Amino acid sequence: MARAERKTPGTAGKRRLTALVAAAGLGALVLTGCGGQSGAGDASASSSEAGGGDKTLRVSAAASLTTSFDQLSDEFEKDHPGVNVDVNYGGSSGLVQQLTEGAPADVFASADQKNMKKLTNADLTQGEPKIFATNVLTLVVPKDNPAGITSVQDVLDKKVKLVTCAPEVPCGAATQKVEKANGVELKPVSQENAVTDVLGKVTSGQADAGIVYVTDAKAAGDKVTTIEIPKTDEAINKYPIVALNKSEQPELAAQFVDLVTGERGQKMLKDAGFGTP
């Protein structure tokens, strides 16, 4: 089963933390050389005060947004000195379960509207969710394509190890729609709870083929070969984002949503292969 991935604070945050640790270590050495243990405590206090102004914005986001939201988080940190963006990536359904069970977060970005509606029905959102991107599916095979797959029909005719998303997550639900549209029944050897896990099994050679979003295929670069699936336009996923009403950083949460839905965010998402809202 897939587990949610976590993005640690961005490069700016890491540089601040490294600087603080280095400063604290140097201060401790200097003060120790002067023979005063109480001085080491003063250095520790100074270090604590230096980092006291930092804030953390917690974002829960669909796994298919990993590359784009890593970039958007770095942009946000540049625009907001002293703010670290901590992103929890995973399957949208799993993230919703975490949030409804009380997991702390300031922003939620889902890979479909169905899972977002669960949050709005639970009265956990601040305002109406905004659609900020769309996505469709594609078939990917490892770069060397050991099974010789050239079409979706090959997946049906040959004895290949196909991996898809589980039906309860957005990419899995979309896969079912594509199956229905094409009048076929796929027989995956495993179903994952995050699209990144599907891609990982293909790139590592554990699977002969996998169904992922076009954005994941693009992010994988030359690690995979992409094969078009017919009628994916009948299974377009719309991505909504919203600030959460229990956010400890409501202003920052609203500003992050604005970045994602604004001109800069939309350009970054388009460059990653996402469709427009």
pLDDT (tens digit per residue) in 82-94: 999 999 999 999 9
Cα separation of 75 and 209, whole Å? Answer: 34
Helix, strand, coil distribution of the chain in percent, nearest 5: 50, 25, 30
**154 in a structural domain:** yes
Residue 142 sits in the same domain as residue 210: yes
Q: What was the pLDDT predicted at 74? A: 98
Q: What was the pLDDT predicted at 53? A: 53
Residue 254 sits in the same domain as residue 122: yes
Q: In terms of residue numbers, what domain contains 147?
A: 137-234
**14 in a structural domain:** no
Cα separation of 52 and 56, whole Å? Answer: 11
**35 in a structural domain:** no
Q: How many separate domains does the chain show?
A: 2
Q: What was the pLDDT predicted at 41? A: 35
Task: Supply the pTM of this predicted model.
Answer: 0.80
Residue 243 sits in the same domain as residue 116: yes
Residues of the chain with pLDDT under 70: 1-53
**45 in a structural domain:** no
Residue 144 sits in the same domain as residue 221: yes
Among residues 222, 220, 201, 269, the alpha carbon closest in space to that of 241 is found at 269
Amino acid at 36: G
**22 in a structural domain:** no
Q: What was the pLDDT predicted at 18? A: 35
**191 in a structural domain:** yes
**100 in a structural domain:** yes
State CA 10 to chain mean position distance: 14
Residue 222 sits in the same domain as residue 141: yes
- Name the DSSP class of 137: E
**179 in a structural domain:** yes
Residue 171 sits in the same domain as residue 88: no
Q: What is the CATH number of the domain that holds 218?
A: 3.40.190.10
Residue 91 sits in the same domain as residue 174: no
Residue 157 sits in the same domain as residue 219: yes
Q: What was the pLDDT predicted at 21? A: 35
Cα separation of 180 and 6, whole Å? Answer: 34
Residue 73 sits in the same domain as residue 205: no
Contact 66, 243 (CB under 8 A): no
Residue 129 sits in the same domain as residue 141: no
Token output for 23: 């400063």
Binding-site positions for molybdate: 64, 92, 195, 213
Residue 160 sits in the same domain as residue 227: yes
What is the chain's length? 277
pLDDT (tens digit per residue) in 93-146: 999 999 999 999 999 999 999 999 999 999 999 999 999 999 999 999 999 999
Binding-site positions: 64, 92, 195, 213
Q: What was the pLDDT predicted at 141? A: 98
Residue 116 sits in the same domain as residue 62: yes
Contact 275, 236 (CB under 8 A): yes
